[in-house]
Chains A and B, each alone.
Chain A
Amino acid sequence: QKEVEQDPGPLSVPEGAIVSLNCTYSNSAFQYFMWYRQYSRKGPELLMYTYSSGNKEDGRFTAQVDKSSKYISLFIRDSQPSDSATYLCAMAMDSNYQLIWGAGTKLIIKP
């Protein structure tokens, strides 16, 4: 079993829809949770960064962490065709050097 599981998709939704992207994990020691967006043939860019449990909102994006269920989510409101990309989750422990990555979910927003 992988430490971080992420559905590869593709997830295809119409423009304007609310998108929900998710990751599950097995290691309860993870404290830091990140979402990166990666466009085709580009490097990942940091979208959201959360410490421990709770919600964080930034514009159309909301990151949610449920440590009791070992489950994190990224919600995108009013989705746009420009949101079409692969979304990667990543997590880390408090004092360990390594980020552990999900495989990424490919998202397609249809105009």
Chain B
Amino acid sequence: DGGITQSPKYLFRKEGQNVTLSCEQNLNHDAMYWYRQDPGQGLRLIYYSQIVNDFQKGDIAEGYSVSREKKESFPLTVTSAQKNPTAFYLCASSTGVLGNQPQHFGDGTRLSIL
């Protein structure tokens, strides 16, 4: 079955710690995205990538970093510089990067602070 796999499902971060969220897709999509979802708010774009070894900041990139070394993988690191990291993180992919391409989502990682 084609889809997007995010792991872990739940993650806890200690003060001053960096944590990495995994996102893998087998849909052969070129574009991948990371969103943050907070209660009562729409999805906010953190980073997106059109092709391997290329990625762009979204609206709320501060305190986050990404890499795109393989087409299938787009991990997100939440650094200690992100002072309010508690949220639901969603990874998505689409055939192209334009907004008119429907995005397909994984089941998210819920990050909390210890």
Contact = CB atoms under 8 A, between A and B. Distances in A.
Interface of A: 2, 4, 6, 8, 31-32, 34, 41-46, 49, 51, 88, 90-104
A92 B110 CA distance: 27
B99 A43 contact: no
22 contacts: A2-B42, A4-B42, A6-B42, A8-B40, A31-B100, A32-B99, A42-B108, A43-B4, A43-B92, A43-B107, A43-B108, A44-B43, A45-B105, A46-B102, A90-B43, A92-B98, A97-B98, A99-B43, A99-B45, A99-B103, A100-B99, A103-B40
Contacts, number: 63
Contact of A92 (B58, B99, B106): B99
Given A4-B42, A101-B43, A92 B100 contact: yes
Nearest to B31: A97
A49 B102 CA distance: 8
Counting contact residues on chain B (CB < 8 A from A), the size range is 20 to 34
Contacts of A93: 99
Nearest to A39: B107
Contacts of B103: 46, 99
Contacts of B42: 2, 4, 6, 88, 100-104
Contact of A94 (B6, B100, B108, B110): B100
A37 to B, nearest CB: 11
Contacts of A102: 42
Contact of B98 (A6, A96, A100): A96
Nearest to B103: A99
Contacts of B90: 43-44
B87 to A, nearest CB: 13
A42 B108 CA distance: 6
